[in-house]
Amino acid sequence: MTDYLLFQLYGPMVSWGTQAVGQERPTEDHPGRSALLGLLAAALGIHREDDDQHQALSQACRFGIKLCAPGLAMRDFHTTQVPPSARNAAHRQTRRDELREAKLGTILSFRSYQQDALSVVAVSSLNDAYSLDQLKAALLTPHYHLYFGRKSCPPALPLNPEIASAESLKVALDTYCVDSIFDNVQKDKPRYYWEAGETPGMEESYRVPRYDQPLSRQRWQFTRRDEFAFLGDQYVPE
């Protein structure tokens, strides 16, 4: 039996960022590892520049996801005012500092979101650096505001964290009861995603590389990991 911390993620909009090239800012339909670590770090009150604590949290957690409803895709044309880039410019701490610059330029981008997406997340603990009880307490009373990928994507419902023991990841995810507001809502056939080393309790349909394993939060660097998926009898991408 394995102990899992289980919680739900629902919002009118979510944006689980993936690799971005040029003006496109795409999203996955389910949260990646870096997004979930960021969510927990915000709840715990870990500062963005504290690389040591971010690495300790990363090494303490393994994630599994049940995607109950991916939601509807939305694409937004986005404009942002930014200060000119200068090699010797002082580090700007806040957005307010940036907008105080004398000369501002504009960058254009297309940003993707998912609407009305619902996921259940399972966290298993790999060491004693952060216990499941500590993570649960942080999600109940988060230190910083939580959001799903972008600050414009806050949770629409409480995360309702709970700790349960189960013989496999699938059993743990399937026994978690999402908020009763979804009882009469049509949900898609669920999809499951997990990381290497997990006891999934299901056969993988496929695996893909994802570049969302944090190397340095301060320098915004990530590396590759393998993600495993179970889609049942649904279409399996080539």
Return mean pLDDT, the chain.
88
pLDDT at 89: 56
Give the model confidence (pLDDT) of 123-142 as tens digits.
Answer: 999 999 999 999 999 999 99
CATH number at residue 159: 3.30.70.2660
Residue 159 domain-assigned (yes or no):
yes
144 HSE (CA, 13 A, CB side): 15
Residue 216 domain-assigned (yes or no):
yes
Question: Of 9-23, 90-104, 182-196, which range is least confident?
Answer: 90-104
**In which band, very low, low, confident or very high, does the pLDDT at 238 lie, cut at 50, 70 and 90?**
very low
Residue 172 domain-assigned (yes or no):
yes
pLDDT at 99: 79
| d(C-alpha 190, C-alpha 65), whole Å | 10
Give how many domains the chain has, as a whole number: 1
The domain in which residue 47 lies consists of 2-16+28-71+115-230
Higher-scoring residue by pLDDT: 102, 212? 212
pLDDT at 184: 62
Residue 125 domain-assigned (yes or no):
yes
Higher-scoring residue by pLDDT: 20, 141? 141
Give the model confidence (pLDDT) of 148-197 as tens digits.
Answer: 999 999 999 999 999 999 999 999 999 999 888 777 655 668 999 999 99
193 HSE (CA, 13 A, CB side): 21
Residue 22 domain-assigned (yes or no):
no
Give the model confidence (pLDDT) of 195-237 as tens digits.
Answer: 999 999 999 999 999 999 988 877 778 899 999 999 975 544 4
Mean pLDDT of 41-66: 95
Residue 77 domain-assigned (yes or no):
no
Residue 92 domain-assigned (yes or no):
no
| d(C-alpha 1, C-alpha 175), whole Å | 14
pLDDT at 100: 80
Residue 100 domain-assigned (yes or no):
no
Flag whether pLDDT at 21 surpasses 90.
Answer: no
**In which band, very low, low, confident or very high, does the pLDDT at 87 lie, cut at 50, 70 and 90?**
very low
Higher-scoring residue by pLDDT: 136, 83? 136
pLDDT at 93: 63
